[in-house]
Structure 1
Amino acid sequence: MTETGIYVLSTGTVLPGPAVDNATLAHYLNVPPLWQQWIDTFIGTDSRHFSVDLDTGERLYTLADLGSEAAARALSAAGVHASDIDLIVMGTSSPDNLMPATVNLVADRLGITAVPTYQLQSGCAGAVQALDVARQMLRTGRHRTALVIGADSCAKHMGLATNLASASPAEQINGVLFGDGAGAAVLTTLRPDPSANAAVLYPVLVRFAGLNQPPGQIIEWFGKAELHSDQPAAVEDYKAIEALVPSMAVNTLRDLLDELAWKEAEVDYILPPQLSGRMTARIMAEFGLPHAYEISCVKETGNTGNALPFFLIEGVLPRMAEGDRAVAVAIESSKWIESAFAIEKV
């Protein structure tokens, strides 16, 4: 399969504040030492970054802050000016407000105007959905250069200033799995300079897979009438995620390779779902791609949701030689969306 029309020209990423390791997190959440051991053993994520001050609960960074910084870094890396962007698509599960859309706050900060802007509300597949929307719109020929952003700030939903020792496991798990961050990429239909660190973006796979399946994660929005509710802001059915995500990831990978007519041995790099260190290792084992090099970051960053694909692209592009191929898979567990994309170094 040959397609050279859409290129990933650059990426940019950002993590807020210092890394918070498991011992520090356990201290702030006022949980016993055994809980830290549980994080180390059963989650396998070593650290994460938060947009809030753990001492005071003060919010230090908004999602617009993170998205704007990641986008600015992507533009700089591409040597592209804000005036060159004629399309912006953003994927997030945690916008700053229901309205205005965070994507428009980012555009305003970057000085981008008079272009289409889209914000997709989705979990971990949202960034891949955003790549797909941007790619499809670029193929129409009406646009030449797109800015694609994926960002999440989970800290405001997690109640990090709250003692989680007595919370339910469905609430506790969110406090250790997730971190905050943002990523962005510049896509273009213009063939890059040979010296550019660019790659072809192939057709993207995105599909809903949650028919008759209960949600694996629920994140609530509370209006003024509900502020006194005892309902938790975020809960996760981690057992369901453990049971379903590995097989969904394997099926998604296989179907994308079939669509591209790529053999397993032709995959040089694999960018697996970044749920946690332990889950990512399990999924890699089930992929069964012994010749593909794994690109992962979740042990150090935590699960940053829609930012993760851009961290992975940023990690793989400098490693790729001309003709190398990389495949990424992301699974959204709130109502189960399978997604994947592939790039090839030009």
Structure 2
Amino acid sequence: MDAPDTYIRSAGTALPGPAVDNAALARRFGMPKAWEQWVETFVGTRRRHFAVDLTTGDVRFSVADIGESAARRALAAARTETAQIDLVVMGTSSPDLLMPATVNTIADRLGIDGVATYQLQSGCAGAVQALDVAVQMLRSGRHRTALVLGADSCAKHLDVTMDAAGLPPAEQINGALFGDGAGALVLSTEPSPQAVAVRHVHNRLVGLGREPGQIIDWYGRADRGRDRPPVAEDYKAIEESVPELAAEVVRDVLDLLDWKGSEVDYVLPPQLSGRMTDRIVSHLALPGAHEVSCIRDTGNTGNALPFFQLEQLLPRMVTGDRALAVAIESSKWIQAGFALEKV
């Protein structure tokens, strides 16, 4: 018996709090006007959202809060009741707690119980990994309708009392690059007029022998007070490696599906920053594909980003359209992506 096709029925997203533009960020942390201009010119991200109050440092939204909001929007868009969900998979690099898993907190809030749930801890590839798990399990025939989540909050690492101007540039850039957000998809083995078929999901570890491009530390009680940053990033390594890694994903997926680059109508590129996205797209050799990006207005929201892109994409697709998405995780170098077709 052939495995059933899997369809994305809807996408939903959530952003915490008001948008913080570069001018507001510079004022809050005492950065010079030149820094604000540098972010606009060389990073290309205009605004982002944070789950903390930048004045007090109080956490205003948890990952579960924004994940629940995104899930409810996706369920409403798909006209799907929570009782129909028989699988929940989540990708995140910043769960609220080590235990209980944030995916289970969200499921509980939604009234979902008695189903399989999985949480994958991963960086920017985590959303695609979660999609991969859900697609494979739906194709097994044991499940019919899945809720897939991706959410991250960098704000938990943001010290609002810090002397930002005194930080090294490698740490300053994180405040400009990253934002908080969540996304959700409803997947089903049942086609519907608005659904888009998932043709392939690509996940591959390519980090053998390579130094991590990003490290996010975890602090326990015994670690507190250690003189090391919670987040460290080798932005130069990322800048050099990601465009070619993304191009490899495109070539591999096209070859596997026997698609031509000219047959791809939409491309959802990795979303590191506005300027990096431009560089990446130029490497993908998909000149006829319409770019779907959100990074300039959301910041890098990690595992939420593909959902913001999909929320833009799904209403645009008409019968016969094809789309290709790419995500690259730099922590230990993971290539990820997926291909969609409107049928």
**Which residue does the alignment assign to 1:274?**
271
How far is the alpha carbon of 1:41 from its aligned partner? 1.3
TM, length-normalised to structure 2 = 0.98
Read off the aligned partner of 1:314 and give its amino acid letter: E
After superposition, the C-alpha distances for 1:271-322 in whole angstroms (9 at most, x for unaligned) are: 0000000000111111122211000000000000000111111111111111
**Which residue does the alignment assign to 2:283?**
286
SS in 2 for 1:203: strand
Residues in 1 aligned to 2:326 and 2:289: alpha-carbon distance in whole angstroms: 14
Q: How many corresponding residue pairs?
A: 342
Unpaired runs of at least 5, structure 1 = none
Q: Structure 1 41/55 Cα, relative in aligned 2: closer, same or farther at 3 Å?
A: same
Q: Which moved further from structure 2: 102-111 or 160-169?
A: 160-169
Contact 2:129 2:203 in 1 (8 A): yes
Unpaired runs of at least 5, structure 2 = none
Aligned match of 1:220 in 194, 217, 220? 217
**Which residue does the alignment assign to 2:148?**
148
Residues in 2 aligned to 1:341 and 1:277: alpha-carbon distance in whole angstroms: 21
Matches for 1:177-196 after TM superposition, within 5 Å: 177-192=177-192, 194=193
Aligned match of 2:249 in 233, 247, 252? 252
**Which residue does the alignment assign to 1:165?**
165
Q: Which moved further from structure 2: 321-330 or 227-236?
A: 227-236
Contact 1:173 1:236 in 2 (8 A): no
Moved over 3 A (4+): none
Matches for 1:1-346 after TM superposition, within 5 Å: 5-192=5-192, 194=193, 197-346=194-343
Q: Which moved further from structure 2: 204-213 or 24-33?
A: 24-33
Contact 1:54 1:161 in 2 (8 A): no
How far is the alpha carbon of 1:4 from its aligned partner? 6.6
Identity, in percent, stands at 62
Q: Structure 1 257/4 Cα, relative in aligned 2: closer, same or farther at 3 Å?
A: farther
Residues in 1 aligned to 2:158 and 2:90: alpha-carbon distance in whole angstroms: 22
SS in 2 for 1:202: strand
How far is the alpha carbon of 1:3 from its aligned partner? 8.7
Residues in 1 aligned to 2:36 and 2:120: alpha-carbon distance in whole angstroms: 35
Read off the aligned partner of 1:44 and give its amino acid letter: G
Residues in 2 aligned to 1:200 and 1:184: alpha-carbon distance in whole angstroms: 16
How far is the alpha carbon of 1:170 from its aligned partner? 2.2
After superposition, the C-alpha distances for 1:81-135 in whole angstroms (9 at most, x for unaligned) are: 1110000000000000111100000000000001010000000000000000000
How far is the alpha carbon of 1:164 from its aligned partner? 1.2
Q: Structure 1 324/161 Cα, relative in aligned 2: closer, same or farther at 3 Å?
A: farther
SS in 2 for 1:251: helix
Contact 1:158 1:174 in 2 (8 A): no
